[in-house]
Amino acid sequence: MNIAIGTDHRGVNTGLALIKRLGEQGHTVVARHCEEGAACDYPEAAFTVGQAVATGAADRGILLCGSGVGMSIAANKIDGIRAALVGNTISAEMSRRHNDANVLCLSADTLGDKAVDQIVDVWLSSEFEGGRHARRVNKITAIEQGQDPCVVEA
């Protein structure tokens, strides 16, 4: 799988470890991260990763910052991005199965490397179920386009 990964300065160490591990698993990883020890702003990484996913240059994206909140907010401003802030494997699975999340946002401050690895593995291996969930994702897309989701046909 082609995965775009982005971090800010608080997520860089966790991100570098994840980049290495995913590469060893055979994934193609495109990274946008800060240099270790240098401050950088999370919206820049969120934009780069979100654009890669939205344009099809990457299959999925992963973003890491201190809390994951800023990355999630910024990434969700990009049309076609469904970024999910996830803190456990159940949410990781459901974000894929029910919401077709295409960008995973993680907190580097509250999750250890082991938890990050478990969450990422579940998220990457979970597939979108479609069905009634597709109708709901279509309504999210309608909101992106300024439409009232109450009037969108399934």
The CATH number linked to 81 is: 3.40.1400.10
Question: Residue 67: inside a domain, yes or no?
Answer: yes
pTM of the model: 0.94
Question: Residue 151: inside a domain, yes or no?
Answer: no
Question: Residue 69: inside a domain, yes or no?
Answer: yes
Catalytic residue among 34, 98, 133, 150: 98
Sequence-ordered alpha helix ranges (H) in the chain: 12-24, 42-54, 69-75, 89-97, 113-125, 132-144
Is position 9 annotated as part of the catalytic site?
A: no
Q: Which two tokens stand for residue 56?
A: 């099809």
Question: Residue 149: inside a domain, yes or no?
Answer: no
Is position 40 annotated as part of the catalytic site?
A: no
Question: Residue 150: inside a domain, yes or no?
Answer: no
Number of domains in the chain: 1
Question: Residue 37: inside a domain, yes or no?
Answer: yes
Amino acid symbol at 152: V
Give the domain range for residue 45. Answer: 2-127
| Per-residue pLDDT reduced to its tens digit, 3-43 | 999 999 999 999 999 999 999 999 999 988 766 667 889 99
Nearest-Å Rg of the Cα atoms of the chain is: 15
Residue 32: phi, psi to the nearest 5? -130, 100
pLDDT of residue 40: 86
Question: Residue 105: inside a domain, yes or no?
Answer: yes
